[in-house]
Amino acid sequence: MAFDLSHFLAEGARQHAALAKRPLPDLLAEAEEIRQRGHGRIVSYSRKVFAPLTHLCRDSCGYCTFAKPPRSVRAPYMSLEEVLAVAESGARAGCKELLFTLGDKPELRYREAADWLEAAGHRDTFGYLRAAAAEVVKRTRLLPHINAGTLRAIAVSSPERSPVTPTVPTMTESGYPDVEALAWHGIFVPARTPWTHPAPYRL
């Protein structure tokens, strides 16, 4: 079926606006009721081991203690062997997921990062991240969990969750049961572009 992106975004904006008008105590009470109905008093958690794929980042946020300049790291990125070694260590300790942490697109700021990616056969950090996640799925017992700077996966459009990003829900799980696609074409716009901006819909 054809998927109307403008309708999808407009509906999300409508729901957000409706929730914003409701008193906070009412929202909290409703959220508690839904949680109680679905899970009771059970608190779930996932045992994760961290893999800082790269500490380099294109941004310079004064509050950040994660990002480092190239002179402060041994290499721009963890190698696949290092990622897999962390995964195996985590599995032996009882972890179920490997959490990838990384800075945002360091290849746009640092030549060292761009050169490393090129030598490894990847166009950008996200390409290497996906390859590393796929290797974790293929060669270990852990599930990859991706926390990639400003990149946030909202949902996948396939009927089932992707084995490479198993923590990302499907569109059905996100409340859109009629959306399913195995191939799609998308447009990317700058951050904070208003949903009502006409430019994306003219293309």
Q: What is the percent of the chain with per-residue pLDDT over 70, rounded to a whole number? A: 83
Dihedral sign computed on CA atoms, order 128, 134, 139, 141: positive
**CB hemisphere CA count around 179 (13 angstroms):** 17
Mean pLDDT, rounded, for 130-158: 84
Task: Quote the radius of gyration of the chain (alpha carbons, Å).
Answer: 20
**Chain mean pLDDT for the chain:** 85
Domain ranges of the chain: 49-148
pLDDT for the residue numbered 187: 59
Q: Is the pLDDT confidence value at 2 over 60? A: no
Residue 127 amino acid letter: G
- Label residue 202 by pLDDT band (50, 70, 90): very low
Task: Give the tokens for residue 41.
Answer: 């008093």
pLDDT for the residue numbered 147: 78
pLDDT tens track for 16-52: 889 899 999 999 999 999 889 888 888 888 899 999 9
Q: Which of 178, 80, 185 is nearest to 138 (CA)?
A: 80
Buried/exposed 23-60: b ≥16 CB within 10 Å, e otherwise: eeeeeeeeeeeeeeeeeeeeeeeeebbebbbbbbbbee
* Length in residues, the chain: 203
